[in-house]
Amino acid sequence: MEVKNAVMPTSEQMKGFFEGDHGKSISMINLLKFREKADYPADHELHGKDMTGAEAYDIYGEEVSKLLDELGGELRFSGDVKRLVLGEIGELWDKVAIASYPNRQAMVGMMMSDGYRAIEAHRNAGLAGQLNIETVETEF
């Protein structure tokens, strides 16, 4: 199995996200890998500040939690990765976060909002890459 972290989805992934919306609530599992040092654009007020990628992402995390609350979603879990218990992978992620949304449309609406655009620079400055996995709750 090949694993590739990314910061932005491919056009094919975005197309799939918009097609066949089932209308059910979703939880997004985020496997996050941070940059050693935050990398803000030259015109950003935090450009050149001595910050880690994790610190930049924490700014994003605090603000995106507020946006999630506004749309009826929630940050369900956030935790630091400590070790791999089963399996093998070349490099572990730094953090896992699980965010729930009422449906895909709510997530898309949040990502297109002015509030999200205002904080997105912190996400991009902090992340080296991530995996973002959509899940729908099922019964056992």
Task: State the DSSP string of 64-114.
Answer: HHHHHHHTT-EEEEEEE-----SS--SS--SEEEEEEESSHHHHHHHHHSH
The arithmetic mean of pLDDT across residues 114-125, rounded, is 96
pLDDT class of 132 with cuts at 50, 70, 90: very high
Task: Go through the domains of the chain in sequence order and give each one's CATH number.
Answer: 24-135 (3.30.70.100)
The candidate with the shortest Cα–Cα distance to 99, out of 118, 128, 115, 77, is 77
The arithmetic mean of pLDDT across residues 106-125, rounded, is 94
Residue 131: alpha-carbon gap to chain centroid: 8
Tell me the residue type at 133.
I
Quick one: tokens of 47? 């450009």
Q: What is the pLDDT of residue 1?
A: 64
Over the stretch 24-73, which tens digit does the pLDDT of each residue have?
899 999 999 999 999 999 999 999 899 999 999 999 999 999 999 999 99
Residue 127: strand pairing partners: 34
Whole-structure pTM value: 0.89
78 versus 137: the higher-pLDDT residue is 78
